Chain A
Amino acid sequence: MMMGKKLVLVVGLILAVAVVSLSLLLGGGITTDTVTTQTVIQTVTQKQVAGTINGAGASFLNPQMQAWASKFYELTKGRVKVNYQSIGSGAGQANFKEGLIDFAGSDPPLKKEIYDEFQGKSGIIQFPVIIGTIVVVYNIPNIETQKLRLTGEVIAKIYLGEIVYWDDPLIKELNPDLNLPHEKIIAVHRSDGSGTTRVFTAYLSKIYKPWKEKVGSDFTVQWPVDQLGNGVGAKGNEGVAAAVQQNLYSIGYVETAYAYGSGLKIALIRNRNGQYVIPTEETVKSSLIELTKILPKAHEDWSKIFPDETVDPPGLKSYPIVSFSFIILRQDYDDEIKVALLREFFTWVLTEGQKKENIVPGYYPLPPEVAQIGLEGLKLLR
């Protein structure tokens, strides 16, 4: 009796192990095949290498990255495959730190702790690849898009819960021509950790001191408006966009592409010079003129400058909430093919990739001086 019991167990175990190792072997065989094809192509085209680079991170960057990756796949006839997955800036930075991906995409630059950790080890290269803007969106039935005027201070007071109704004197003062309803403002914000929130709250902190003292700026913050019951949290840009669409008399902040994508109404925001602006090529260009002078180099720590120093820039027509999206690389890779692929792809992104035909609507290309930061940085790659 005992023999039989054991036998069944042993047979079961052996079978399971055999099946697992067989399937592993199968996969292993196919991997070797890919490697050989890669080397073949390598010798044929000499200097050019073929292969896949894996990146992940900011969801904001994702549409633009897919457009670039797809174009580059076509240009290189499938030789360079850039695989970018949208998992969020925070997760992208964490995975990069663990060495799970070849490059990270992130709305804010690398956190100080992670940057320091890499110093003296494999080093860091980080540079902006594209410019985005954050817009304030609203849902008031009788007010058209680009009609509502707001200031950073008023937005801060709404999210602080100090302004409760749409017909508050402070809002009326900015919008004497609008028929503002006596309705409670539903303030929608991100519930997940987000680079968008980090930049948006950096803007509010810079423009309105009490915000800085009471709330501050981070990937997630304690929203005072929530305690009054007038706040709504939503996941992702798409979540905020949907929440604003579904809730009458709400306000929210999203990346511009999401506002256009879902047809939300966009508020005019007052800049430093008293002009009411929305993001356009002109207003974004104006924002960048002064900004480019204070930007660090690719191997330096960006966390102090961005976004706290870069929001609300000077310039007559400047749009105040401008944001960069970063690519983060190590300086050292133990794989030569990866280095060549990364260099080739990102050099293209920073040059040809910035041309109008390669930019997805809702994003803005880098000025040449800013693209230069990345091109210089890529020289450190080895």
Chain B
Amino acid sequence: MNRRRLEEKIMLGVISLLAIISAIPIFAIIINIYSEGLKYVSLSFLIDFPPPPISGGAGGIGPALVGSLILIGLATVIGGAIGFFTGLYLSEYSHTKLAQYTQMFLQIMVEFPTIIIGLFAYSVLVAPLKRFNAFAGAFALSIVIIPYIALNVREAYKSIPYTLKEAAFSLGLSYPKVYLRVLLSTAKRGVLTALLIGMAKAGGETAPLLLTILGTTFTYFEGLDQPINAIPLLIYNFALSPYERWHQVAWGASAVLLTIILTIFIISRLVVKEVKI
């Protein structure tokens, strides 16, 4: 008896320790990024153009920040619309062959290397239009996030008790009313979380942007058919340079990006707190 207790205790201890260890990197990253980057962040840092490497002012990440917000917004709208209805279909018509195959493909897509999606966007939206453009970037990002949104929306709808659906249909409501009014009001937290996860994913991706948006220095937004910048792309370019000032901008930009992503996650946590039926 005693020995069993001891074994249990040891086991629990080891597992808890491992759990703590696996959570350490996230804290290490947050502390590292903020301690290195926060000191460069100011209002003008959020607005100004990126600086030249040596002379001139301190500069900022204005075009990249604006670009990132536009790309996140657009990708969430496109990816959200498609992902939501796909998820709805997967949940409500899960018995159909189409739904089963779609779900399988979406699960593969989650694991897809995002650089390949960027290459795809390049070949269908950059090369034929003869210009790097913001829409190609948003398109690539929306493809990246569709499977995340669809699969999470599916979970949200799946979790609704069947009785509620039955009740709604028994009132003689039409399908759109049942799915988009009655059930959505129940599943909305789950759906919102799905969209927020998609947003965070879109905000942090670099690879799909490397081949699509080119990047800008002195322009915030000149149309969806023109190049645009994004924070991950700016970090990638500046962190690799030999100049101290560009490294500082990259650190500051990392702190801003991390703040955006953490904010989205905190909102999604608050949303999820409790699902009331």
Partner-B contacts on A (CB < 8 A) = 4-5, 7-9, 11-13, 15-16, 19-20, 23-24, 27-28, 30-31, 34, 52, 54, 56, 59, 62-63, 66-67, 69-71, 73, 78, 81-86, 98-101, 236-238, 241, 257-258, 260-262, 357, 360-361
Contacts and interface: CB of A to CB of B under 8 A. Distances in A.
A114 B55 CA distance: 36
Contacts of B84: 12
B222 A261 contact: no
A99 B130 contact: yes
B101 interface: no
A100 B126 contact: yes
A12 B88 contact: yes
A12 B85 contact: yes
A83 B78 contact: no
Interface string B62-87: 00000000000010011001101100
A100 B131 contact: yes
A43 to B, nearest CB: 20
B242 A11 contact: no
A54 B81 contact: no
A20 B78 contact: yes
B52 to A, nearest CB: 4
A290 B218 CA distance: 39
Interface residues of B, number: 50
Instruction: Report the 9 A-B pairs with minimum CB-CB distance, sorted nearest first.
Output: A261-B242, A31-B223, A27-B224, A12-B85, A4-B175, A81-B218, A70-B52, A67-B52, A63-B53
A69 B243 contact: no
Given A31-B224, A52-B226, A78-B218, 16 more contacts: A8-B89, A20-B78, A23-B78, A23-B224, A27-B223, A34-B222, A54-B227, A56-B214, A66-B217, A67-B56, A81-B217, A83-B215, A83-B218, A98-B130, A100-B127, A262-B242
Interface of chain A: mostly helix, strand, loop or mixed: helix
Nearest to A34: B222
A238 B240 CA distance: 6
Given A30-B221, A238-B242, A98 B127 contact: yes
Given A16-B81, A261-B242, A34 B223 contact: yes
A16 B214 contact: no
B221 A8 contact: no
Nearest to A74: B56
A232 B197 CA distance: 40
B152 to A, nearest CB: 17
Contact of B243 (A8, A24, A83, A261): A261
A35 to B, nearest CB: 9
Nearest to B210: A87
Nearest to B57: A70
B134 interface: yes
Interface of B: 49-56, 74, 77-78, 81-82, 84-85, 88-89, 92-93, 126-127, 130-132, 134-135, 174-176, 179-180, 214-219, 221-227, 237, 240-244
Given A8-B179, A19-B81, A83-B219, A24 B135 contact: yes
A63 B50 CA distance: 12
A258 B89 contact: no
17 contacts: A8-B89, A9-B85, A20-B81, A27-B225, A31-B224, A52-B219, A59-B240, A63-B241, A66-B50, A66-B53, A67-B52, A69-B217, A78-B218, A83-B214, A83-B219, A99-B130, A360-B52
B63 to A, nearest CB: 9
Contacts of A100: 126-127, 130-132
A15 B85 CA distance: 10
B54 A67 contact: yes
Contacts of B242: 63, 237-238, 241, 257-258, 260-262
A5 B180 CA distance: 13
A261 to B, nearest CB: 3
Most A CB within 10 A of own CB, among B49, B53, B93, B174: B53
Contacts of A4: 174-175
